[in-house]
Amino acid sequence: AQSVAQPEDQVNVAEGNPLTVKCTYSVSGNPYLFWYVQYPNRGLQFLLKYITGDNLVKGSYGFEAEFNKSQTSFHLKKPSALVSDSALYFCAVRDITDKLIFGTGTRLQVFP
Amino acid sequence: DVKVTQSSRYLVKRTGEKVFLECVQDMDHENMFWYRQDPGLGLRLIYFSYDVKMKEKGDIPEGYSVSREKKERFSLILESASTNQTSMYLCASRGGGPRDSYEQYFGPGTRLTVT
């Protein structure tokens, strides 16, 4: 069965430091992977996706994600965190019926 | 830009009331979805629709129904609201053609409280 896991409920990082939000997946066939961000009391905003091609995917707001097939991971990264990056982040994978399966979310807290 | 709107940002209803949540998208998307979001559980799919008048159950359809009479509008109905349906409800849409790569576009959400 398709699934996605976000092992950390919360990630804390100081402003200016690099950040990583982890995601692992289990899927049959080639994965389609997504990251979304949710600011307080808002809907989800699309950040980036991996369909095929380069393993390093660049997205909005300076975020990038690295697809690692051998580790079945798709970690979200940013070289230098901003306080305004503080939000809830969701990883998702497309399942065989074309729906998205979402992880439980990781709250990113960036401290000044 | 794709725009998905939801009829209410905040809603308070009483137990037993019939509740309608409306969602409208402006990009002629075939696919529309209703999720509920609860802390620690992520997003769970309630119902989705691939076309007008078509609906499919998601993972947690119990206590809900949907209506899609027009392509741009997808309604979620709580026939008799209960306190365990207090949640954030998110609507999303997605195109269905070969150029689409499956990302969904979300509305701002409706925070429903059932008392």
Q: Could you report the per-residue pLDDT of B73-85, keeping only the tens digit for each?
A: 999 999 999 999 9
Secondary structure E strands in B8-106: 10-13, 19-25, 31-38, 42-49, 56-57, 64-70, 73-78, 87-94, 105-106
Cross-chain Cβ contact B102/A42 below 8 Å: no
Average pLDDT over residues B54-69: 95
Q: How far is B48 from chain A (nearest CA, A)?
A: 9
Instruction: Write b or e for each residue in B5-38: b if 16 or more Cβ atoms lie within 10 A of its Cβ, otherwise e.
Output: ebebeebebeeeeebebbbbbeeebbbbbbbbbe
Question: Measured between alpha carbons, how far is residue B49 from residues A11, A92, B8, B35, B94 in Å?
Answer: 35, 19, 21, 12, 10
Contacts of A49 in chain B (CB under 8 A): 101-103
Identity of the residue in A43, A51, A105 whose CB atom sits nearest the CB atom of B108: A43
Res A98: pLDDT = 79
| Beta carbons of B101 and A98 less than 8 Å apart | no
3-state helix, strand, coil in chain B (%, to 5): 5, 50, 45
Q: What is the CA angle A61-A63-A66, rounded to 5? A: 160
CB within 8 Å: A43 and B106:
yes
Locate the chain B residue with the closest alpha carbon to A5: B42
CA angle B20, B57, B83 (to 5 degrees): 45
Share of chain A above pLDDT 90, in %: 79
Residue A28 corresponds to which tokens in the numbers above? 């049959």
Pairing mode of beta strands B42-49, B56-57: antiparallel
For B109, the 3-state DSSP assignment is: coil
Residue pair B73/B24 in contact (Cβ under 8 Å)? The answer is: yes
Q: According to the model, what pLDDT value does residue A42 have?
A: 82
- A25 in contact with B, Cβ within 8 Å: no
Structure tokens at A13: 């990082």
For residue B5, the chain A residue with the least C-alpha distance is A43
Handedness of CA B19, B115, B48, A40 (dihedral sign): positive
Task: Say yes or no: A100 contacts chain B, CB-CB below 8 A.
Answer: yes
CA–CA gap between residue B103 and residue B105 (Å, rounded): 7
Alpha-carbon distance B94 to nearest alpha carbon in chain A (angstroms): 10
Taking only the tens place, the pLDDT of each residue in B3-53 is 899 999 999 999 999 999 999 999 899 899 999 999 889 999 999 999 898
